[in-house]
Amino acid sequence: MKIALIGAGNVATHLGTKLVEVGEEVVQVYSRSLPKATELAKALGARPIDDLYGLTAKADLYIIAVHDSAIAEVLKKIEEIVVDKMVVHTSGATPAKVFEAAPDLVRTGVFYPLQTFTKERKVDFSEVPICLSAADETDLNLLELLALKLSTNVYKVTDAQRAWLHLSAVFVNNFTNHLFEIGHSCLKKQKLPFEMLLPLIQETVAKLDGGQPKLVQTGPAVRGDFSTVERHLTQLNGRGDLQEIYRVMTKHIKRTHADNWTH
Amino acid sequence: MKIALIGAGNVATHLGTKLVEVGEEVVQVYSRSLPKATELAKALGARPIDDLYGLTAKADLYIIAVHDSAIAEVLKKIEEIVVDKMVVHTSGATPAKVFEAAPDLVRTGVFYPLQTFTKERKVDFSEVPICLSAADETDLNLLELLALKLSTNVYKVTDAQRAWLHLSAVFVNNFTNHLFEIGHSCLKKQKLPFEMLLPLIQETVAKLDGGQPKLVQTGPAVRGDFSTVERHLTQLNGRGDLQEIYRVMTKHIKRTHADNWTH
Mean pLDDT by 10 residues, chain B (263 residues): 96 97 98 98 98 96 96 96 95 94 96 90 92 97 98 97 97 97 96 96 89 88 90 94 96 86 44
Q: Enumerate helices (H) and strands (E) in chain A, giving the number of each.
A: 10, 8
pLDDT at A193 over 50: yes
Q: Which residues of A touch B214 (CB under 8 A)?
A: 181, 184
Minimal Cβ distance to A199: which of B127, B180, B196: B127
Q: Which residues of A touch B159 (CB under 8 A)?
A: none
Sheet with A108-113, strands from edge to edge, namely A47-49, A25-30, A2-6, A61-64, A86-89, A108-113, A130-134, A154-156
C-alpha radius of gyration, chain A, whole number: 23
Q: What is the pLDDT of residue A260?
A: 57
Handedness of CA A122, A123, A126, A132 (dihedral sign): negative
Q: What is the pLDDT of residue A262?
A: 44
- Report in angstroms the alpha-carbon separations of A70 from A50, A243, B142, B250: 15, 37, 63, 22
Residue B126 to chain A, least CA–CA distance (Å) = 10
Contact check, Cβ <8 Å, A200/B248: no
* CB neighbour list of residue A245: distance below 8 Å, 6 or more residues apart: A182, B171, B175, B248, B249, B252
**Domains of chain B with CATH codes:** 2-157 (3.40.50.720), 163-262 (1.10.1040.20)
pLDDT at A14 over 70: yes
Between A23 and A122, name the one with better pLDDT: A23
Report phi then psi at B231, rounded to 5.
-65, -40
Q: Which residues of A touch B127 (CB under 8 A)?
A: 199
**Which DSSP symbol is given to A150?**
H
The model's pLDDT over A43-56, given as tens digits with 9 standing for 90+, comes to 999 999 999 999 99
Angle at B137 between CA B132 and CA B139, to 5 degrees: 65
* CB neighbour list of residue B224: distance below 8 Å, 6 or more residues apart: B254, B260, B261, B262
Nearest Cα to Cα of residue B12 among B28, A258, B22 = B28
pTM of the model: 0.93
Q: What is the pLDDT of residue B122?
A: 86
Instruction: List A108's β-bridge partners, or say none.
Output: A87
CB contacts under 8 A, A 147-206 vs B, are 153, 155, 157, 160-161, 163-165, 167-184, 186-187, 189-192, 194, 196-206
Q: Which residues of A touch B188 (CB under 8 A)?
A: none
Q: What is the pLDDT of residue A259?
A: 65
Contact check, Cβ <8 Å, B249/A225: no
The model's pLDDT over B229-238, given as tens digits with 9 standing for 90+, comes to 999 999 999 9
Q: What is the pLDDT of residue B210?
A: 67
- Does ipTM exceed 0.85? yes
Closest-approach residue (CA) in chain B for A162: B190
C-alpha radius of gyration, chain B, whole number: 23
Between A209 and A212, name the one with better pLDDT: A212
- Report in angstroms the alpha-carbon separations of A250 from A82, A222, A260: 52, 8, 14
In 3-state terms, what secondary structure has residue A89? strand
Report phi then psi at A161, rounded to 5.
-60, -45
- Report in angstroms the alpha-carbon separations of A75 from A100, A162, A169, B68, B227: 9, 20, 26, 60, 19
* CB neighbour list of residue B232: distance below 8 Å, 6 or more residues apart: A167, A170, B220, B246
Report phi then psi at A236, rounded to 5.
-90, 5
Residue A56 to chain B, least CA–CA distance (Å) = 31
pLDDT at A24 over 70: yes
Minimal Cβ distance to B235: which of A163, A201, A246: A163
Contact check, Cβ <8 Å, B93/A220: yes
In 3-state terms, what secondary structure has residue A154? strand
Instruction: List A30's β-bridge partners, or say none.
Output: A6, A49
Q: Which residues of B touch A199 (CB under 8 A)?
A: 114-115, 124, 127-129, 153
The model's pLDDT over A98-139, given as tens digits with 9 standing for 90+, comes to 999 999 999 999 999 999 988 788 888 999 999 999 999 999
Q: What is the pLDDT of residue A263?
A: 37
pLDDT at A261 over 80: no
Nearest Cα to Cα of residue B90 among B146, B49, B20, B51 = B146
d(CA B226, CA B232): 10
Contacts of B37-43 with C-beta under 8 Å, sequence gap 24+, read B37/B8, B39/B8, B40/B5, B40/B8, B40/B12, B40/B13, B40/B16, B41/B8, B43/B13, B43/B16, B43/B17
* CB neighbour list of residue A45: distance below 8 Å, 6 or more residues apart: A20, A26
What is the average pLDDT score of chain B? 94
Direct distance between the N- and C-terminal alpha carbons of chain B, in angstroms, rounded to an integer: 61
Estimate the crossing angle of helix A226-235 against helix B159-169, to 10 degrees: 110
Pairing verdict, β A86-89 and A25-30: unpaired
The model's pLDDT over B206-230, given as tens digits with 9 standing for 90+, comes to 998 767 899 889 899 998 888 899 9
Q: What is the pLDDT of residue B263?
A: 37
Contact check, Cβ <8 Å, A236/B187: no
User: Could you tell me the pLDDT band of residue A61, with boundaries at 50, 70 and 90?
Assistant: very high
- Report in angstroms the alpha-carbon separations of A113 from A139, A140, A169, A245, B99: 17, 15, 11, 30, 54
| Number of neighbouring beta carbons within 10 Å of residue B213 | 25
Handedness of CA A11, A17, A18, A20 (dihedral sign): positive
Q: Which residues of B touch A172 (CB under 8 A)?
A: 179-180, 182-183, 197, 200-201, 204
Inform me whether the C-beta atom of residue A9 falls under 8 Å from chain B C-beta atoms: no
- Report in angstroms the alpha-carbon separations of A176 from B190, B210, B229: 22, 16, 16
* CB neighbour list of residue B124: distance below 8 Å, 6 or more residues apart: A199
